[in-house]
Chain A
Amino acid sequence: MTHQVALTIITEIKAGEVEDIKQLLKTMSDNVACNGVIPFGKFSNIHFARLFVLDESIDLNGAVIAPSLVLMSECDAPLGRFLNELVDMAGEGLDKIYSHCVDYPASEITRKRRLAYLRSKIVNTSVFYVNTVGRMAQQIRQESQLRNAIQDFLDHAQQDWSGRSSLEVRAKILAYIRSERTLSWARKPPAQPGLFFKLKETLHMVGMPLLVLVLLPVLIPVLPIWLLLLRIHELSDAAPHFKPDDAHIQDLAALEDHVAQNQFTAVGYVKPGWFRRLTVWGILLAANYGTRHIFNKENLAGVKTIHFARWVVINEQRRVIFASNYDGSLESYMDDFIDKVAWGLNAVFSNGVGFPRTSWLIFGGAKDEQAFKDYLRIHQIPTQVWYSAYDHLIALNIANNAKIRAGLYSKMNKTEAEEWLRLL
């Protein structure tokens, strides 16, 4: 089984203990790979992980939402393996963290009870974008090793390759790889996603359009009404342009640009009323379909810098969390959003309170550059602990490494060999 899964565990923090947790998270973030609480670097099948606090919040009706702690990870299936490693390698660390949370056993804590607690707090992910479905963490690390080895070979085997033919150079590289014991894994192509997973995905891919087809007689008359209501909401929804608080920006910026990738976590309220709630539900359903079957290989509608992204609906559909792992700076990430996928972001985020005004769901909105950037910063929250298993690789490097490996197995003609060598 080789596909990636998204884990979200949300636990309510005990009254008055938010600062204790934040302190603890701070100590973890100083050395995230090998910290004494959860040593993320030791997990075998993890891509990314994060821990953050959702502070206490007042909802749109004035009700208090208690603060909570969110643990997220993107890891390779099966999820059970990750949870088991968590309780095995970080049992006492989990106690340290979750003793500040509601429902955590106070005494006689066993492995089993820890595991049961975590499992009981798992929250479903509505939409999970994976840069390339099925590319495992180990594969990413190995293919990076492969590329580095070839580069070193090219640098050191001889000073000057010019004058050699592309086939000759390629043959030398292949011979080197065959001779290199540490690259023995590269003799066969990477594993494919499991049969059961593929079957499930195919059923979903075919089933959803079929369902829509069946429901068409209902949907067709509903659509104009929905569009009309949408337009009325769009024209009447408040879309104020606030500038984010400077101290807030400083807090967020301090956590950014340390490595080639960055994290983004944001939370926001869904606009009040059944109409927006229904629209969010429908859009997330469509987005789920799109990420699983259309945008599942290295490219999210033209954006090639996102490793993983997810939407998680919380608090009985009152709020939505958006979390992603991306390459480069937040500025370039936001510019990509505006320039390439404004329509998609509009469709989802325009159902959130405070989003710049859209028209017909997908137009306008994020195209209001500074209002959109301010909206994102205002809704972004600090990701107190963030771990990346390969923080020196951008998604395009990973994709390129995979192409280098994929080119090892077939016989190539001159042109193909030239193309393959260009990957180096």
Chain B
Amino acid sequence: MADTLDLQDMQGLIIRGYGNLRAACYILLEISDPQLAKIWLNAQAGTITAGQARPEEKAFNVAFTYAGIKKLGLEPAILAMFSNEFINGMAVPHRSLLLGDVEESSPAQWIWGGPSTSPIDIVLMLFAVDDRELSDVYNTYAKTFATSGLTEVLKLDTVDLGNKEHFGFHDGISQPVMEGLPQTETAMNTIKAGEFVLGYPNEYGLYTDRPVIKPVMDPKGLLPRDSSGSGNVDLGRNGSYLVFRQLRQDVRGFWQFLDEATKNPDGSSNPSARIKLASQMVGRWPSGAPLLKTPDQDDPQLADANDFAYYQTDPYGFNCPIGAHVRRANPRDSLDPQPGSEQSIAVGKRHRILRRGREYGPPVDAAELLTVKKSSAEDQDRGLHFLCLNANISRQFEFVQHTWVNNPHFDELYDDADPIIGTHYPDGGTFTMQAKPVRKRLNSLPRFVSVVGGAYFFLPGIRAIRYLANH
């Protein structure tokens, strides 16, 4: 029998995105003095927001890169038990190929997390009800950095756009629900806790690899026991891997490209065709209504609709194109083995992630969206701080990114990487809209989203944080 979720030991971000706390920022830190940093960490451990209750005023979570964990002085044998992806990090050359972080998205150009930027050891994630409160919370922590062996490398702010992202679409609708929590969801969308939290059984009924250590290595008895029954203690339990990517969105470029592609024969803009094409690329209308259910026009009544599968209704992509963003980020029952079957769903359930991202940067003024030509230097930076949680970076985040989202050959396509966030190279990809009598397609798609920073973090359980601070 699976053991119950130890919510008091989990950082709250695993359980919720703190949607009620509208303001948030992420502080990237470098450890300059590990001893002082450990004392600081020990003192802060009690203030970390855990998962058992929704915080009403503020929240504080913390995660570490491999470099950070290493600086805190774990033994090499324990360090080696972390996952290979986490150890090597997001910016190694092979991973850049795998993730599509090439050309303008290559780590060499990143503003943080790249080979030529300052090392990142820790990320603090702060949440508050509004910007004023957030700035108070931030100041409380910031003034401790200097005396605690910590240097602030970068403060990443966020912006609250309601439930929309910068392109203007309702985002974050489809989230898997972790088994063992009170929420109930469809079976397809209810995923074993071990897919998101280490130390619990995953969708294979197995425990994902994590640092499990001999009890003698934990003389103070700080760590929870390994619930798989090895008799050891579990440094990974109640922790998760946090994928953090700063995605810059070219909002003007996106809408101006679509405007051009949908112009009337007389050269005038066709706003409804423009929005329809954008919605076909997303797979949902701006309200969030899925094209699967309403292919011809937006229907705000269906804004949060998420209880659907593709195969029965739309096996050929006539409603929602096969290559649309939502259909590839979460294909539900549309892939092999045997689309439409339980097996297809079961395979899909091994490739889910919990998304926790927030937007950053000021929105584009709607009046200037199409009229003012973009000039990347003058235009302000905006996009998404993409955060997601998973237990196995390789099988979950990286698989979704490489095999589904960024794969030009997704579901038997030829040259169709994700039309919204895909890397289209060398000379721009296509976007195919299956239709009767024959498909339509959009050629030479430019890149609308690029990566400007990122890292893999480990978000430990709270007892594990005490261990890191005290061992």
A residues in contact (CB < 8 Å) with B: 147, 151, 154-155, 161-162, 164-166, 168-169, 243-244, 246, 249-250, 253-254, 256-258, 260, 302, 304, 327-329, 331-332, 335, 338-340, 367-370, 394, 396-397, 400, 418, 421-422, 424
Contacts and interface: CB of A to CB of B under 8 A. Distances in A.
Contacts of B95: 253
8 contacts: A162-B435, A243-B80, A329-B398, A338-B204, A370-B206, A397-B412, A421-B437, A424-B439
In this complex, the interface size class of chain B, counting residues with CB under 8 Å from chain A, is: 35 or more
A109 B56 CA distance: 84
Nearest to B401: A329
A424 B438 contact: yes
Given A166-B437, A418-B436, 20 more contacts: A151-B441, A154-B439, A155-B443, A257-B402, A258-B97, A302-B336, A304-B336, A327-B409, A328-B409, A331-B398, A332-B402, A339-B347, A339-B350, A369-B206, A370-B206, A396-B409, A397-B409, A397-B414, A421-B438, A422-B316
A165 B94 CA distance: 48
Contacts of B402: 257, 328-329, 331-332
B399 A335 contact: yes
Contact of B409 (A260, A331, A368): A260
B436 to A, nearest CB: 7
Contacts of B81: 243
A246 B409 contact: no
Contacts of B337: 302, 339-340
Contacts of A147: 414
A423 to B, nearest CB: 10
Contacts of A161: 437-438, 440
Interface string B94-125: 11011000000000000000000000000000
B190 interface: no
A249 B84 contact: yes
Interface string B54-87: 0000000000000000000000000011001001
B399 A246 contact: no
A422 B26 CA distance: 47
A332 B209 CA distance: 18
A96 to B, nearest CB: 29
B88 A250 contact: yes
Interface string B417-454: 00000000000000000111111110100000000000
A145 to B, nearest CB: 13
B373 interface: no
B407 interface: yes
A340 B343 CA distance: 10
A176 to B, nearest CB: 13
A256 B92 CA distance: 13
B323 interface: no
Nearest to A334: B395
Closest 7 CB pairs of A and B: A253-B94, A166-B437, A332-B403, A394-B409, A396-B412, A421-B438, A169-B437
Nearest to B442: A155
Given A151-B441, A243-B80, A422 B434 contact: yes
Nearest to B412: A396
Contacts of A329: 98, 398-399, 402-403
Contacts of A396: 409, 412
B93 interface: yes
A300 B94 CA distance: 29
Nearest to A394: B409
A424 B403 CA distance: 22
Contacts of A422: 316, 434
A370 to B, nearest CB: 5
A339 B438 CA distance: 34
A394 B409 CA distance: 7
A169 B80 contact: no
B168 to A, nearest CB: 27
B249 interface: no
B408 interface: yes
B208 interface: yes
A154 B437 CA distance: 11
Nearest to A144: B414
A421 B347 CA distance: 29
Contacts of B232: none
Contact of B350 (A254, A258, A335, A400): A335
Nearest to B343: A339
Contact of B209 (A246, A331, A370): A370
A422 B316 CA distance: 8
Contacts of A332: 399, 402-403
B399 A257 contact: no
Nearest to B399: A331
B88 A246 contact: yes
Contacts of B441: 151, 154-155
A296 B161 CA distance: 54
A331 B400 CA distance: 11
B394 interface: yes
A257 B97 contact: yes
A256 B99 CA distance: 12
- Of listed B316, B350, B394, residue having the most chain A CB within 10 A: B394
B409 A257 contact: no
A260 B408 contact: yes
B199 to A, nearest CB: 14
Nearest to A370: B209
Nearest to B398: A331
Nearest to B411: A396
A169 B436 CA distance: 10
Contact of A331 (B394, B414, B437): B394
Contacts of B438: 154, 161, 166, 169, 421, 424
A253 B407 CA distance: 18
B77 to A, nearest CB: 11
A416 to B, nearest CB: 13
Given A162-B437, A332-B403, A367 B409 contact: no
A418 B435 CA distance: 10
A165 B437 contact: yes
A370 B84 CA distance: 12
Contacts of B409: 260, 327-328, 394, 396-397
Given A329-B402, A339-B347, A246 B414 contact: no
B325 to A, nearest CB: 19
A243 B208 CA distance: 13
A334 to B, nearest CB: 9
Interface string B342-360: 0000010010000000000
A198 to B, nearest CB: 30
Contacts of B394: 331
A250 B337 CA distance: 31
Contacts of B434: 422
Contact of B94 (A166, A250, A327): A250
